[in-house]
A and B are shown apart, each in its own frame.
Chain A
Amino acid sequence: MNNLIRELRSERGWSQAELAQQLDVSRQTVNAIETGKYDPSLPLAFKIARLFGMPIEMIFVPEEE
């Protein structure tokens, strides 16, 4: 799953640690999501979407087969 979290975070000038704090997860989890190594659970994905004020499908894009 690809996502735009790194771009959205950079636009707001947040560090990974700051984003992690707002999402109540570790910085390494934010890093793993940004690099596409870990796909977040549905509740966490909704939390991310709510934080950035965007629909979930605008942030997470399935990889093309």
Chain B
Amino acid sequence: MPRLSQKQYEWRVLVAMALYTLCMLVEWPLVRAAGSLPLKCLLALVPVLPMIYVIMLMGRRIRDSDELERQTHLLGLGISTAVVGAVSLVGGFLSIANVLKLDGSILIWVFPGLMFCYGLARWQVARRYGVGTFCESDAGVAKYVRFVLAGGVLLLIAWICRSSLDDVQLGFLCGAGAGLVALGVVYIVLQRRRARVGE
């Protein structure tokens, strides 16, 4: 299997995350209305598919890394697993002692928590070795493309789901989407200005 470049990896993750967001907003509300148990299970597990794809992509990326990059990935994953495990243990004990009221839905935050801690830990570990988060020469998808794309996806979701969302949700999606697109435009202007100064 050929090694994915940083850009290819990021595009695939972006598409998977967009699909996941779309599933959560469009398909997830149908779960409660589903009549039969198998259909309910099927609908409830659809958003897991893009996330499994993202986990597979991560595994492939770590497998294809060179030794230093692999070390930063594995240290980041180890630290984040320890942090999330410790937090879960504390939460679990507090819940059993009736100090904290937690229900099963809290489990949905385990994976995002793990990824957030992994990102932070890997950034710190990479800094210690004096390298960036990406060891490859190409720095991945341009920053303005990321912002415009993320904003565009949020605006598209807002437009598709406009009838099923309440005012607060619709306002949040439109505001966040427009803000990200605006940030992307600012980056494009700054980049062009820098290029002009460079000439």
Contact = CB atoms under 8 A, between A and B. Distances in A.
Nearest to B65: A26
A61 interface: no
B137 A37 contact: no
A43 to B, nearest CB: 9
B129 to A, nearest CB: 5
A52 interface: no
Interface string B16-41: 00000000000000000000000000
A41 B128 CA distance: 18
Interface range on chain B: under 10, 10 to 19, 20 to 34, or 35 or more?
10 to 19
B68 A29 contact: yes
B66 A24 contact: yes
Contacts of B52: none
Contacts of B130: 31-32, 35, 37
Contact of A27 (B67, B129, B137): B137
A44 B71 CA distance: 14
A28 interface: yes
Contacts of A14: none
A55 to B, nearest CB: 22
A51 to B, nearest CB: 15
Interface string A20-39: 00001111110110010110
A31 B135 CA distance: 11
Interface centre among A32, A35, A40, A44 (most CB of B within 10 A): A32
A16 B69 CA distance: 16
A17 interface: yes
Interface of B: 66-69, 71, 128-132, 135-137
Given A29-B68, A32-B130, A35-B130, 17 more contacts: A25-B67, A26-B68, A26-B69, A27-B137, A28-B68, A28-B135, A29-B67, A29-B69, A29-B131, A31-B130, A32-B68, A37-B128, A37-B129, A37-B130, A38-B68, A38-B71, A40-B67
11 contacts: A17-B137, A24-B66, A25-B67, A29-B66, A29-B67, A29-B68, A29-B135, A32-B130, A37-B128, A40-B67, A41-B67
